[in-house]
């Protein structure tokens, strides 16, 4: 199984080589966590992450989920994760950390969605948040700082 990360935007400066190192570490850890016990992520041959602008993710959001407006992450069950760099940058500023860390968190968030996690109820959202934070911290411990 492999994971590919593509930068399809120019609005936000990011460290693509660093994200490409984080992604396989995150994938390895996410493969061990399934909220529904199906471990659907293990059935995929490849996961593709596309980092795009708010305009692009807004279009994807409306076309596929019938919801207007930009969002942070959209995950498709066949293994595609679409991430908004501009939304990540806004949250990174709000939480006072690096945009690459925020993008890494979104990669993990998408991988967990592929493995049965959801964030529609408060309890599910809390479990997902706690799991993705633990995975992010473990990945960051294995990588040079951003």
Helices (H) and strands (E) in the chain, counts: 5, 4
CA atoms within 13 A on the CB side of 83: 28
Q: Is 119 annotated as a binding residue?
A: yes
| CA gap 36, 66 in Å, rounded | 26
Residue 17: partners with Cβ closer than 8 Å, 6 or more residues away = none
Task: Return the closest-CA partner of residue 71 out of 85, 13, 80.
Answer: 85
Helix H or strand E encompassing 81: strand 80-84
Task: Return the closest-CA partner of residue 22 out of 79, 99, 75.
Answer: 99
Positions at the binding site:
109, 113, 119
Positions at the binding site for Zn(2+):
109, 113, 119
């Amino acid at each position: 199984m492999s994971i590919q990360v593509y930068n399809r935007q120019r609005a936000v400066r990011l460290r693509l080589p660093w994200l490409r190192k984080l992604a396989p570490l995150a994938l390895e850890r996410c493969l061990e966590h399934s909220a529904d016990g199906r471990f659907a992520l293990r059935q995929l041959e490849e996961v593709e992450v596309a980092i795009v602008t708010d305009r692009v993710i807004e279009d994807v959001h409306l076309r596929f989920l019938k919801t207007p407006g930009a969002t942070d992450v959209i995950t498709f069950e066949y293994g595609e994760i679409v991430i908004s760099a501009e939304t990540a940058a806004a949250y990174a500023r709000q939480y006072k950390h690096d945009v690459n860390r925020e993008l890494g968190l979104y990669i993990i968030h998408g991988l967990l969605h592929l493995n049965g996690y959801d964030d529609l109820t408060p309890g599910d959202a809390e479990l997902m948040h706690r799991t993705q934070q633990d995975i992010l911290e473990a990945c960051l411990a294995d990588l040079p700082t951003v």
